[in-house]
Structure 1
Amino acid sequence: MGYLDFLDLVLSEELAVRDDRRFRQGLRLSKLPHHKTLDEYDFSFQPDLDPRKVKDLATLSFVEGKANAALLGPPGVGKTHIAVALAVAACRAGYSIYFTSLDNMARNLKAAETAGRLTNKLGTYLRPGVLVVDEVGYQPLERAETNMVFQVISKRYEKGSIILTSNKTFSEWGQVFGDEVLATAILDRLLHHCEVISINGPSYRLKNRLQAIERENDVA
């Protein structure tokens, strides 16, 4: 091996170490509930879900274009798993990521406003290249909270990607946000550049619980 080839190898290894360090640091700061990947998702359990649509999202072209992704469906079908897996892939690709539930984001923004730190707290949700907003629709918001969520959505519009999960159809978002006009304004900005995937299969959590019960019965 010549000197230049050796130097190139050393530099490549150093860059790989730096990338891995950056990736691990990004995951630590992301607040992700876990670090599952798409390889761990059981597509066979959701036969109505086209794996090609999910894997197309995993190319991160929507992140590159500062567009959004919405995962809709009832509880337990794996929406959060897919959202987290996409965020992990984005982090690996060099994007900053952050995870929050809609309820936590709304409460944190409201508390920050009360403390006079709203501008600073907004930065938590505006800085990441990819913001994951989980569980849209599990808890209805107050109008003041909806106004602050709208600020996040509006300021991120065409500047950074949002990956969201919801157990509500878009037509039900007026109930979630407590204001039809604001809900429409939020949807207008989210859906202008957005890939939407609906998952309407059975619950993974219920499947795992039933399997556990069956094992207990077999032992008994």
Structure 2
Amino acid sequence: MSPATPRQPPPAPPRPRPPRPATNNTPEKGKPSDSNKNHHRHRRDDPDNRRPGQPLPAAARPSGHVEAARRRRGAAQGPRSSHRRRPHPHRHTRTSLRHRGVRDRGPPPGRLRFASLPTPATLEDFDYDTAPAVDPKLINELATCRYIESATNVLLIGQPGLGKTHLAVGLARKAAEAGYRTYFTTAADLAARCHRAAIEGRWATTMRFFNGPSLLVIDELGYLPLPAEAASALFQVVSQRYLKTSIVLTSNRGVASWGEVLGDTTVAAALLDRLLHRSVVLTLEGDSYRLRDHQARTDTLRQATTGTRQPLR
């Protein structure tokens, strides 16, 4: 029988580690901490994070043959300034025209559609023989649309059938093709829209609409009797556009008769004062082209049926 193994004493408990002294990790004011020092040292040594103009550290500098290759490549490409995009020589002119509502690359889509022109008439199709009082040089000058830049109005006055609406539509077409925002309406339609806007509470919106186009064409003033508030509406439109944008207006009544047309001589005088201040007035005289066409067709029919130009019996 083997002797009993002596009982070993239990192991001693581990000695507790002394607590680490508390340190303030927050650096003093004005002194960076150790981590910040290492961070700044890393940024300072990194060639991609150097300040502008700061030379590369010696370890990051390229070798001599690499630097020579870079110099040769730069010499072959020429000065760097030649690769920069040069500004357009007419950039300021194009910007100023764009602020005035003018485009430099033809009419924008929908400009002619917004103009609401009633006929496809053009200035090139106008027959000056029917209106000998119209100066072709003046019409060609108006076709350049320079009068719109100076907010000049154009008044076309004459009896029916002399081509007033034809000239108004032609000027509106030229303006729309040049990029100006153009709108064509009649005096009766303008009065009706303003009257309806006043009833529906949209007066301010309607005034902004008629004040928006660079060229507003008002046709057939004086053909139809206008209601009492039409004179006020027309005056409001003209007053808001005064010295800002242009108006082309046609009428079969002379300016002396506008008091009767509008039913208020005071409003008519104020309206004419603003329209005529900066305007071009064209007075058309002659025979109506519609009556001449009717007479020509009648003569052709007589000649075809009787063989003579004498009237039928």
Q: Which band: TM-score by shorter chain?
A: 0.7 to 0.9
Matches for 1:14-93 after TM superposition, within 5 Å: 19=105, 22=108, 25-93=110-178
Q: Are residues 119 and 42 of structure 1, via their aligned partners in 2, closer, same or farther at CA, if it must alter by over 3 Å?
A: same
State whether residues 140 and 175 of structure 1, in contact with CA within 8 Å, keep that contact through their aligned partners in structure 2. Answer: no
- Match for residue 130 of structure 1 among 215, 220, 227: 215
Give the partner amino acid of 1:167: N
Q: Could you tell me how far 1:161 is from its partner in structure 2?
A: 0.5
Q: Could you tell me how far 1:67 is from its partner in structure 2?
A: 1.1
* Identical aligned residues as a percent: 39
Task: Tell me the SS of whatever aligns to 2:138.
Answer: helix
Q: Which residue of 2 aligns with 1:183?
A: 268
Q: Could you tell me how far 1:141 is from its partner in structure 2?
A: 2.1
State whether residues 133 and 164 of structure 1, in contact with CA within 8 Å, keep that contact through their aligned partners in structure 2. Answer: yes
Gaps of 5+ in 2: 1-103, 306-313
Q: TM-score when scaled to structure 1?
A: 0.87
How many angstroms apart in 1 are the aligned matches of 2:259 and 2:299? 41
Task: Tell me the SS of whatever aligns to 2:110.
Answer: helix
User: Which has the higher relative contact order, 1 or 2, with Cα contacts under 8 A spaced 6 or more apart?
Assistant: 1
Gaps of 5+ in 1: 1-17
- C-alpha RMSD over aligned residues: 1.5
How many angstroms apart in 2 are the aligned matches of 1:205 and 1:85? 19
Q: Could you tell me how far 1:219 is from its partner in structure 2?
A: 3.2
Name whichever structure is richer in helix by fraction. Answer: 1
Task: Tell me the SS of whatever aligns to 2:144.
Answer: coil
Give the partner amino acid of 1:164: L
Give the partner amino acid of 1:175: E
Q: Which residue of 2 aligns with 1:206?
A: 291
Q: Which residue of 1 aligns with 2:244?
A: 159
State whether residues 218 and 247 of structure 2, in contact with CA within 8 Å, keep that contact through their aligned partners in structure 1. Answer: yes
Aligned residues: 202
Q: Which residue of 2 aligns with 1:97?
A: 182
Runs of 4+ displaced beyond 6 Å: none
